[in-house]
Amino acid sequence: MKQLKFGNYYNKVLGSWIGRVAGDHVGAPIEFKPYDFIMQKYGTIVSYLKPVDVNYVNDDEMYEICALIALEKHGLGISSKDIAKEWVDRLYNQNFTAERVALKNLRKGIEPPDSGITKNIWYDAIGAQMRADIWGQICPGCPRMAKYYAEIDGSISHSGIGIDGEVYVAILISNAFFEKDIRKNIHNSIKFLPMREESRYTDMIFKAIELYDENPNDFRKAREKLMEYWNIIRAELVQKANVRRKREFLNHEILSGVHVLPNAGFIIFSLLYGAHDKEDSLGRSICIAAMLGLDTDCNCGNVGAIVGAQIGAEMIKSKWREPLKDTFNTYVKDYEHWKISELASRIAKIGKQICETKCKDIVNII
């Protein structure tokens, strides 16, 4: 059985959220900016691109706050409907792609999982992967339970490989509480995905690893090759799509950048190349995610949450931590303003309950 002192557990949850919020601030200014533009204007990114505005609100984390509220209200046995109700009651601004469609469906009385597939061309976009962090955070060292919760949440707005993305990131974070080697974590977490032959998502994870191995010191070359691979897949998906709007989404140069597949590959690159920096793996990983482009705030946030859980808050460099001023804001009615430390404390409290009940034979928090 794995053991984790509660103070250390909290420190890692806090690190995961500091990493998440820091990643947002790095990635947001260049979200969906062309790759060449990012490279020409910023070159090698090594810090925040502009001074941190502590009043800034990112749309990505509000779904995780709704998940936390649902957990606190309904306990560990929450359902998709419980989480979805918080969406309907509390989300009032900045809803996009799959989540916007799901909210429209929910407000019409269409419940999960139908809310994730009804008239939803975005079911395989990045949204579910984006909101995976909390499920890994409440299930330290218990990846099967992290997968269970991620699937419940993912079904509200996504299907198929869209849910695979949420599952995988949740498991990476769950395993990060005990695994210090990111390469081992990446491989161990793949075991909880469908076989490579059964899931394009799993295939993309393996492809990213292979391209890293072929280009261990050149993330830009690896990116070039991965985008070539993604464009082949994209063309195949267009041919198979039987809905005009789906074909338009996949063909669109910018909109297709929200698809889960290339962004998943970029997360793997960011983690592997970022680990080369032994002094600041979190900062380097986030910055690489930014330099790779596409949905940069989502990717930088996920990467920050994964590495933050691995190293803990105390190991995060002050250049990333201090400008945040322990402040986090979100578009959730009655829960707009937070201290990051308070958010981490509430999540850790639930995680301890999960370890004492659902994971009691796997993890002991003392």
User: Band of the pLDDT at 1, cuts 50, 70, 90?
Assistant: confident
Average pLDDT, the chain: 96
- The answer to whether the peptide bond before residue 140 is cis (omega within 30 degrees of 0) is no
Say if residue 277's pLDDT is above 90: yes
Task: Give the pairing of strands 2-4 and 337-339.
Answer: unpaired
The pLDDT of residue 253 = 85
- How far is residue 153 CA from its own chain's centroid? 13
pLDDT at 94: 82
Q: What is the DSSP string of 96-138?
A: -HHHHHHHHHHHTTPPTTGGGTTT-TTTTBSHHHHT-HHHHHT
pLDDT score of 17 = 98
Query: What does the pLDDT look like over 42-97, one tens digit per residue?
Result: 999 999 999 999 999 988 899 999 999 999 999 999 999 999 999 999 998 788 99
pLDDT band of residue 24 (cuts 50, 70, 90) is very high
Question: What pLDDT sits at residue 60?
Answer: 86
- Summarised one tens digit per residue, pLDDT across range 327-358 is 999 999 999 999 999 999 999 999 999 999 99
- Say whether 4 sits in a helix, a strand or coil: strand
| Distant-in-sequence contacts of 276-281, Cβ < 8 A, 24+ apart | 280/317, 281/182, 281/307, 281/310, 281/311
Q: What mean pLDDT comes out for the span 137-142?
A: 98
Q: pLDDT (tens digit, 9 = 90+) per residue, 207-217?
A: 999 999 999 99
Answer CATH for 2-365 from 3.40.50.1970, 1.10.4080.10, 3.40.190.10, 3.20.20.70: 1.10.4080.10
- The confidence score (pLDDT) of residue 93 equals 75
Asked if residue 30 has pLDDT above 90, the reply is yes
Q: pLDDT digits over 144-166, tens only?
A: 999 999 999 999 999 999 999 99
For residue 293, name the pLDDT band (cuts at 50, 70, 90). Answer: very high
At residue 97, the pLDDT reads: 95
Is a pLDDT exceeding 80 seen at residue 37? yes
